[in-house]
Amino acid sequence: MNKNTIEKSMANKKNKLNISYNISNNFEYVKSNISLLQAIELYGFNPVKKGTHYFILCPFHADKNPSLAIYKDVYHCYGCQAHGDVIDFTARYFNLTPLEAVKKLSYDFGIPLSGIEPNKEIQRKAIKRQKFNRLLKNFKRKYDETYDYLCKLFQAYTKIKSLVEEPDDMDLEAFVEACKYQDLIEYWIDTL
């Protein structure tokens, strides 16, 4: 072999090592910056907390009761035994290779990775989706708070009305308020 051939061969091996190193770093970078729970919520699931873990219906088999447990860094399905991290979940859910899953996660969460050209349109959509998800989460929280408050108010009005036994008590301000607003509160509860 001549000197040029050896140098080209060594340069190719060095480039392959650098690419392999970048890919490995990208995997670790994605795993350290995107939690499994964030990805699962972004992809349309609504995890329910039971004890110290979250659970969802497993998308990998016909699940009727939530059997996929979400731990800090990994998931495990007690029905079909599916198991893995955020990259494995994304790859399996979208039928992708692990490298394609890393790219998808980076695009969806707007995380730039070395060696992977960012897609501005996908990043813009990811940011828009994250804003929408935040708004939706805040709306759901406010909705639940309002519904709970209206239910408690309705119960309080019902209790006030049931406590009035004497005609003189009908002049009490709380009783008058209960009579005046209970039907409206019930309407609002039904509307929600």
* pTM for the whole structure: 0.53
Q: Does position 21 have pLDDT exceeding 60, yes or no?
A: no
Q: Does position 121 have pLDDT exceeding 70, yes or no?
A: no
Specify whether 186 is located in the same domain as 136: yes
Specify whether 133 is located in the same domain as 100: no
Number of structural domains in the chain: 2
Domain end marker among 60, 90, 118: 118
Q: What are phi and psi of 48, to 5 degrees?
A: -115, 130
113: which DSSP letter? B
Specify whether 103 is located in the same domain as 158: no
Specify whether 158 is located in the same domain as 87: no
Cβ count near 82 (within 10 Å): 19
Domain end marker among 98, 118, 138: 118
Helix (H, G, I), strand (E, B), or coil: what is residue 31? Answer: helix
Q: Does position 40 have pLDDT exceeding 50, yes or no?
A: yes
Domain end marker among 118, 146, 161: 118
Looking at per-residue pLDDT, the higher value among 125 and 144 belongs to 144
Specify whether 101 is located in the same domain as 145: no
Dist CA 118 CA 133 (whole Å): 22
Tens of pLDDT, residues 53-111: 999 999 999 888 899 999 988 999 999 999 999 999 998 988 888 888 888 888 888 77
Dist CA 189 CA 147 (whole Å): 7
Query: Within 13 A of 163's CA, how many CA atoms are on the CB side?
Result: 12
Residue-range definition of the domain harbouring residue 144: 119-191
